[in-house]
């Protein structure tokens, strides 16, 4: 692996951090280590990294909160969670906060490197979404709502809600495919990058959030087509 690959490792366990850093350094990676979420965010803002490895349980700022803050700043940098919390709910929460992968502790170093290689290969081979295409205006009118995509704001009259990056991406994608059946796998591939099981569970959570955000406009409806996908219905204004 080229030594140009820079990794930010945020891990409060000094022994685990030392083992991971030493192994990856020997494999040709450049690893910066931060001992907690607060210092991890400072490192992220100071340098450009190709991939982040985050522990979950840390002092001052846990991995979930750190990932959410990072996703507000950068929606593309790969995030790999490394945690001893291995219940399904923990993995689901990780993907909801923007993770690309999740590996359980104690970590096998060869598996960790393989996961890093897969993430980086996928990252380098997937084109970024072009958010400035002519058919994608910065402000999208959805029924009584307006989605300001660059600023991730959803407004209805004087009521404005700040969306997460993933919420804004999903809402915009659904609007593009409005009034037709959209398969779950297609949504996951286009918005999340793959159709992993845990990301599928995360999709259901995000759909529930969007229903809540849009509930005051009766012309908008998100239908769950069991076993297939969703329909994002927006009634056309009467002429």
pLDDT in tens, 168-217: 889 999 999 999 999 988 898 888 777 676 677 788 888 999 999 999 99
pTM of the model: 0.60
| Helical ranges in the chain per DSSP H | 14-26, 37-46, 63-73, 88-96, 109-125, 165-176, 184-187, 197-213
159-178 tens-digit pLDDT: 999 888 788 889 999 999 99
Would you give the distance in Å from CA 65 to the centre of its chain?
12
If we measure between CA atoms, which residue out of 30, 33, 28, 32 comes closest to residue 13? Answer: 33
Asked if 196 and 92 count as a contact pair (C-beta separation under 8 A), the reply is no
Q: Would you say residue 133 has pLDDT above 70?
A: no
Q: Would you say residue 128 has pLDDT above 50?
A: no
pLDDT of residue 74: 81
Q: Would you say residue 2 has pLDDT above 50?
A: no
Q: How far apart are CA 109 and CA 141, in angstroms?
A: 48
Q: Would you say residue 126 has pLDDT above 70?
A: no
pLDDT of residue 76: 77
All structural domains of the chain:
6-125 (3.40.50.2300), 139-234 (1.10.10.10)
pLDDT of residue 130: 44
pLDDT of residue 205: 85
Q: How far apart are CA 118 and CA 36, in angstroms?
A: 26
């Amino acid at each position: 692996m080229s030594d140009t690959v820079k990794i930010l490792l945020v891990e409060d366990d000094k022994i685990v951090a030392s083992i991971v850093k030493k192994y990856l350094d020997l494999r040709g990676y450049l690893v910066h280590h931060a001992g907690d979420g607060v210092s991890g965010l400072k490192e992220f803002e100071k340098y450009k990294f190709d991939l982040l490895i985050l522990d979950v349980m840390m002092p001052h700022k846990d991995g979930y909160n750190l990932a959410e803050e990072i996703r507000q700043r950068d929606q593309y940098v790969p995030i790999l969670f490394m945690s001893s919390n291995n219940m399904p709910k923990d993995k689901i929460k990780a993907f909801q906060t923007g993770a690309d992968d999740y590996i359980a502790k104690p970590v096998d170093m060869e598996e960790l490197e393989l996961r890093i290689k897969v993430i980086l290969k996928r990252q380098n081979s997937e084109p970024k979404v072009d958010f400035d295409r002519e058919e994608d205006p910065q402000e999208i009118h959805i029924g009584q709502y307006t989605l300001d995509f660059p600023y991730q704001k959803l407004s209805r009259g004087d009521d404005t809600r700040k969306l997460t990056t993933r919420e804004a991406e999903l809402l915009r994608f659904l609007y593009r495919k409005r009034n037709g059946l959209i398969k779950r796998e297609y949504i996951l591939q286009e918005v999340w990058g793959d159709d992993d099981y845990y990301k599928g569970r995360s999709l259901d959570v995000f759909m529930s959030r969007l229903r809540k955000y849009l509930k005051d406009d009766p012309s908008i409806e998100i239908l769950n087509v069991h076993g297939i996908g969703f329909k994002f219905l927006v009634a056309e204004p009467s002429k």
